[in-house]
Amino acid sequence: LSLSLSLSLSLSLSLSLSLSLSLSLSQSQSVPRMKSGFKVGLKLEGIDPSHPSMFCVLTVAEVIGCRLRLHIDGYAECYDFWVNADSAEIRPAGWCREHHHKLHPPKGYSETDFDWTSYLQSTGSQAAPPSMFTCRPATCAFTVGMKLEAVDRKNPGLVCVATVADVMDDQILVHFDNWEDTYDYWCDSSSPYIHPVGWCEEQGRPLTAPQGHPNPEGFVWEEYLRETGCGAAPPSAFTLRAPHGFQVNHRLEAVDRRNPMLIRVATVADIEDHRLKVHYDGWSTAFDFWCDADLCDLHPVGWCQRTGHPLEPPPGSSPLSSLSQGVCPTTGC
Ligand code: MLY
């Protein structure tokens, strides 16, 4: 037993070592430097994941390890969502006002009559202090209004005329011209989904013109930029990232997509340059899913244990077999 124990321990150690050595994990994927200070009830501002163009008033509803369940004030609990405590998508109270972003007030308040001081007072609550937000500041060369060509991530076969609709540190909000904001997404300058004006022509690929364009087949950037009075994002602003270092069969810890409160033992089932297919160990391959390699819900082996989060072992696995997955049998995490 002790031999297989030490064998599996060294196996999981070398697995996590090889993971951290060969991968450049994003800040939100790796183990945070500090313990998070967030407590249930504290209020903050952040992006509504179902409306990425909107900043909302949020309350910490639950804390597990360094993950937070956030509640959108005034809205039903079914809109609650989970983030890592060091997420770039959450900000301290007052951030929107200071950085000239529109803050969507809690249901029942109008934009003009929402004020943090009186809201905290009337709800008898406290704002999470700025020191709890540990996402490192960064910048990018994009500014609001710049035009680009971007993959529609809901229709990944389409590369479309798009605009930088918002900028937050090194993140840009991609908006598709004349489409509703449900297609919008945040990404950084190294994203493989964004390209400078002229990229499609260079690649010999069709470019999807703005919705309602009078002559979509004959779309010409020069004319469109003149008509809209906008500039193209400079090619130097695009800093395409290197392909990820994940390999098929690498083990990892992945948030359960159906119940994001849970993190499961998982395996890389397939790879592309910037994406990977995740398999939940012990579950049907019907639950496998493709995602971007920088998804904040993927973590290296050992992440749960080190951050104090339970880890769901593969169903039906014995304590010994879960050991080889990097799971601690005594604490169950
Ligand atoms: N079949 C979809 C395609 C929408 C594409 C939107 N993109 C370009 C932002 C539709 O027509 O609704």
CA distance 271 to 299: 16
Closest CA to 293 of 17, 22, 5, 10: 22
Strand partners, 127: 43
CB 90 within 8 A of CB 77: no
Nearest CA to ligand 1 atom 4: 155
**Sign of the dihedral through C-alpha 295, 142, 55, 63:** positive
Mutate to test the pocket of ligand 1, among 53, 148, 158, 181 (most ligand atoms within 8 A of CB): 158
Radius of gyration of the chain (CA): 22
Helices (H) and strands (E) in the chain, counts: 7, 16
| Predicted TM-score of the model (pTM) | 0.86
Mutate to test the pocket of ligand 1, among 151, 152, 180 (most ligand atoms within 8 A of CB): 152
pLDDT of residue 4: 44
Residues of the chain with pLDDT under 50: 1-22, 321-333
Among the atoms of ligand 1, which is closest to the Cα of residue 183?
9
Distance 68 CA to ligand 1 centre (A): 33
Q: Which residue type occupies 77?
A: E
* Per-residue tokens: 288: 């496998």
The CB density around residue 187, as the number of other CB atoms within 10 Å, is 19
Residue with tokens 């087949």: 217
How far is C-alpha 150 from the geometric centre of its chain's CA atoms?
Answer: 18
Distance 129 CA to ligand 1 centre (A): 41
Residue 63, CB half-sphere, CA atoms under 13 Å: how many?
16
Query: What are the two backbone dihedrals, phi and then psi, of residue 10, each rounded to the nearest 5 degrees?
Result: -70, -30
CB 318 within 8 A of CB 271: no
pLDDT of residue 325: 46
Nearest CA to ligand 1 atom 3: 155
- Cβ-based neighbours of 24, under 8 Å, separated by 6 or more: 242, 244, 245
> For ligand 1, which residues put their CB under 6 angstroms from it?
152, 155, 158, 160, 176, 179, 183, 208
Where do the DSSP E strands lie in 275-332?
275-280, 289-292, 298-299
Distance 160 CA to ligand 1 centre (A): 10
Nearest CA to ligand 1 atom 2: 155
Distance 147 CA to ligand 1 centre (A): 19
Tell me the three state secondary structure of residue 320: helix
Q: Which run of H or E residues covers position 227?
A: helix 221-228
Nearest CA to ligand 1 atom 10: 155
* Per-residue tokens: 190: 């190294």
pLDDT of residue 6: 43
Provide the phi-psi class of 211: left if phi over 0, else alpha when psi is between -120 and 50, else beta: beta
CA distance 130 to 152: 34
Read off the pLDDT of residues 242-295 as tens digits, 9 standing for 90 and up.
999 999 999 999 999 999 999 999 999 999 999 999 999 999 999 999 999 999
Among the atoms of ligand 1, which is closest to the Cα of residue 211?
8
Distance 155 CA to ligand 1 centre (A): 7
